[in-house]
Amino acid sequence: MRSSLLVIVLPLVGATPRGPPGECDTKTAVSKRGWLGHDVLDGNSIQPAHYSTWHWSNFGLCKGDWSNFGLCKWDWFNWWNWLGSGDESCETDDDTPRPQKPTPTKPETPEEPPTQPSPSTTQAPPPGGGNGPEYINRVNKWMDACGLRHLAHDSTLESNAHQTSVEANGNMVHNMLPGTMAQVMAHGDLTANFDRAFVGGWLCEIKTLFKDKNFCDESSLAEGWTYSGTRHAEILSNSRYTKIGCGTAQSIVTCDVA
């Protein structure tokens, strides 16, 4: 008899359709259990109207002495409501966290370019014109006479040149300090004798640098100089160098360039 009873009950429970995996099935979210040995319904469920004419007393199964079997005491009319009387909220079976929308990153903004780029080999710095010591004006005067670019005054190069002149102690001893890329030296100073050193001692090593090709032969600035090479003129005329600083000590004048 018990095996027959299970055949009747199980199809009723199994007939409830299940939703897709991961979805809440409110018909099967059972919170009150009515099986033997478990919590039973409290009897507060309302029976549907269309079941009111039927009673399990007409079913021969319960006419016997089933007082020790709780199945016949169960209100079978409300089994569908009982299955759906639980809490309708449920968590999805899939506990994998949902992908988050990526937070749009602000395009990164590029930096502003320099407003005054450093002079290149093809860009001449502005003339001295009171923008440095007086000798820088004379330097660029002779640059103009040769059709060359102007040189900008640089305080670091000037300090290096002065220190070299001091350490030379009246002799022609070169000393390349940090920041200096090339150096020229001669007997002289930064006063009246500066033009004589800059023109006659250095630039006239290559006479053709001047626009007036006879200048070095005719100028008193070039008198008394003997040349053993053209290295000084090559340094001063090289467009690679755009800055200059000069210093003097003990009748030695030195100019450093970079």
Q: What single string gives the DSSP state of each residue in 200-236? A: IIIGGGSGGGSSSTTHHHH-GGGTT---S-SHHHHHH
Distance between alpha carbon 245 and the CA centroid of its chain, in Å? 39
In a domain, 163, yes or no: yes
76, part of any domain:
no
Q: What is the CATH number of the domain that holds 243?
A: 3.40.33.10
Residue 37 in domain: no
Average pLDDT over residues 235-253: 97
Task: List, for residues 40-55, the tens digit of each pLDDT value.
Answer: 334 444 444 444 444 5
Is 6 contained in some domain?
Answer: no
Q: Is the pLDDT of residue 254 over 50?
A: yes
Q: Which spans in 131-199 are helix H?
A: 135-145, 155-168, 193-195
In this prediction, residue 132 carries a pLDDT of 79
Residue 114 lies in a domain: no
pLDDT for the residue 70? 53
Number of residues that this document lists for the chain: 258
User: What was the pLDDT predicted at 106?
Assistant: 43
Whether 43 maps to a domain, the answer reads: no
As a whole-number percent, the residues of the chain with pLDDT over 90 amount to 47
Two tokens at 192? 């009246």
Would 238 be classed as within a structural domain?
A: yes
Give pTM, 2 decimals.
0.51
Asked whether the predicted pLDDT for residue 249 surpasses 70, the reply is yes
Q: What is the mean pLDDT of the chain?
A: 70
Structural domain of 149: 134-257
- Per-residue pLDDT reduced to its tens digit, 217-243: 999 999 999 888 999 999 999 999 999
**Domain total of the chain:** 1
Q: Maximum distance among all alpha carbons in the chain?
A: 148
Looking at the domain assignment, is residue 149 inside a domain? yes
SS3 153: strand
What is the predicted pLDDT for the residue at 227? 87
Cα–Cα distance for residue pair 145/190, rounded to 1 Å = 20
- Report the distance separating Cα 230 and Cα 205, nearest Å: 5
Above 90 in pLDDT, residue 103? no
- The sign one gets for the Cα dihedral 27, 31, 32, 37 is positive
Give the pLDDT of residue 7: 44
Report the relative pairing of strands 152-153 and 243-249 from DSSP bridges. Answer: parallel
Task: Note the pLDDT tens digit of each residue in 105-134.
Answer: 444 333 333 223 334 333 444 444 445 799
Residue whose entry in the numeric block shows the structure tokens 């080999």: 121
Which residue bears the tokens 């060359």? 148
